[in-house]
């Protein structure tokens, strides 16, 4: 029914995508590779930083406004979460669902990080009458059908922001194709806002975001036998108003040549040269409705905080 996914294929993907990305004239590595065990841990720490408002505000929205949707969810007996992280948002949602209904509920976690899924499921074990499942893989690994009356798909945390707009449309179309008419998708968007606020969120004072980005170099050392010295790169996070995204780069502090044992290849990094490691797209209300429309969804309801920092948008097919 559900495809298990081995970590081996991820190592292969990682090595393939690093080789491909570092051979480009503008070097880049997909941001999904941040999330090894250490990276997932560092990301959890980011969500606790004062400057990183996203998680805090989304949790506030889920805690204070999800109940407005209660009657819509009366038939929902299965929840599928893409990228649950440490499960703390699932916990907020499930607490409410369990209080609304007595019948059993299924919860599925789909995540690329095995350690994140483990942490998530451990947190949710305390719920009685909740059956837990997990799929280790990227979001495309998810295979639908089970017997259910209605499902709520969760794609929270502004994870959609890591996708190029055309990829986001495509991914959401794929999700829509495995949804039925009784299903819902609740998706989290970080909103366009004051650039100083955005910039601070990706440049926290304690340097956790910096460590998170530099950890990618360490992961390449560990998994691909690379010989990076973290101190020879700096973290650079800026908002690009032309694309509407926070962009993160690792910038080489000197001319250097890095050999990768497993690839049997060296890559040259010039002083000031960037590896583009992340885009975090920010959305306006108009862009959210357009994306829903392009992907074939209807927007049922938008839940915002009072300062419009973040939106949880509920969609139907």
Q: From the list 108, 148, 169, 209, which residue makes contact with ligand AVJ (rule: CB under 6 A)?
A: 209
User: What is the spatial distance between Cα 202 and Cα 208, in angstroms, rounded to a whole number?
Assistant: 9
Q: Which is nearer to ligand AVJ, 87 or 161 (CB)?
A: 161
172 binds ligand AVJ (CB under 6 A): no
Q: Segment contacting ligand AVJ (CB under 6 A): 61-69, 129-137, 153-161, 255-263?
A: 153-161
Q: Report residue 303 as tokens.
A: 């839940």
Question: Side-chain half-sphere of 6: how many Cα atoms within 13 Å?
Answer: 4
Q: Is 202 in the site for ligand AVJ (CB under 6 A)?
A: yes
Residue 54 contacts ligand AVJ per CB under 6 A: yes
* Residue closest to ligand AVJ when measured from CB atoms: 280
Report the candidate in 292, 6, 250, 35 with the shortest Cα–Cα distance to residue 135.
6
CB of 111 to ligand AVJ, least distance (A): 11
Tell me: does residue 108 bind ligand AVJ (CB under 6 A): no
Specify the stretch interacting with ligand AVJ by CB under 6 A; choose among 8-16, 143-151, 152-160, 222-230: 152-160
Q: Which is nearer to ligand AVJ, 113 or 209 (CB)?
A: 209
Q: Does 162 bind ligand AVJ (CB under 6 A)?
A: yes
User: Any contact of residue 84 with ligand AVJ (CB under 6 A)?
Assistant: no
Angle at 163 between CA 162 and CA 165, to 5 degrees: 130
Per-residue binder mask for ligand AVJ (CB under 6 A), 260-299, x = binder: ------------------x-x-------------------
Identity of the residue, 73 or 153, whose beta carbon is nearer to ligand AVJ in the bound complex: 153
Q: Where do contacts with ligand AVJ occur on this chain (CB under 6 A)? A: 46, 54, 157-159, 161-162, 202, 209, 212, 278, 280
């Amino acid at each position: 029914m559900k495809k298990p996914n081995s970590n081996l294929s991820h190592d292969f993907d990682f090595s393939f995508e690093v080789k491909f990305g570092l051979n480009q004239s503008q070097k880049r590595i997909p941001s999904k590779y941040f999330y090894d065990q250490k990276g997932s841990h560092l990301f959890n720490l980011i969500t606790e930083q004062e400057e990183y408002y996203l998680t805090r505000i989304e949790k506030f929205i889920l805690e204070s406004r999800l109940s407005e949707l209660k009657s819509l969810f009366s038939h929902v007996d299965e929840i599928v979460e893409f990228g649950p992280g440490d499960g703390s948002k699932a916990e907020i949602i499930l607490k409410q669902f369990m209080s609304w209904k007595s019948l059993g509920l299924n919860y599925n976690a789909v995540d690329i990080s095995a350690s994140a899924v483990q942490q998530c499921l451990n947190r949710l074990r305390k719920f009685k009458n909740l059956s837990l499942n997990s799929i280790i893989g990227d979001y495309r690994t998810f295979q639908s059908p089970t017997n259910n009356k209605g499902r709520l798909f969760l794609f929270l945390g502004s994870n959609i922001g890591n996708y190029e707009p055309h990829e986001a449309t495509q991914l959401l179309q794929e999700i829509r194709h495995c949804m039925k008419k009784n299903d819902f998708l609740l998706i989290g968007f970080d909103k366009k806002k004051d650039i100083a606020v955005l910039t601070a969120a990706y440049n926290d004072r304690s340097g956790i975001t910096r460590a998170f980005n530099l950890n990618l170099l360490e992961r390449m050392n560990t998994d691909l036998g690379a010989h990076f010295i973290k101190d020879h790169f700096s973290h650079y996070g800026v908002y690009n108003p032309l694309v509407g995204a926070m962009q993160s780069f690792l910038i080489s502090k000197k001319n250097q040549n890095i050999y990768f044992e497993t690839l049997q290849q060296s890559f040259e990094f010039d002083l000031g040269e960037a590896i583009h490691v992340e885009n975090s797209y920010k959305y306006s209300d108009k862009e959210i409705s357009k994306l829903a429309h392009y992907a074939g969804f209807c927007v049922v309801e938008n839940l915002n905080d009072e300062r419009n920092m973040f939106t949880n948008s509920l969609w139907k097919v």
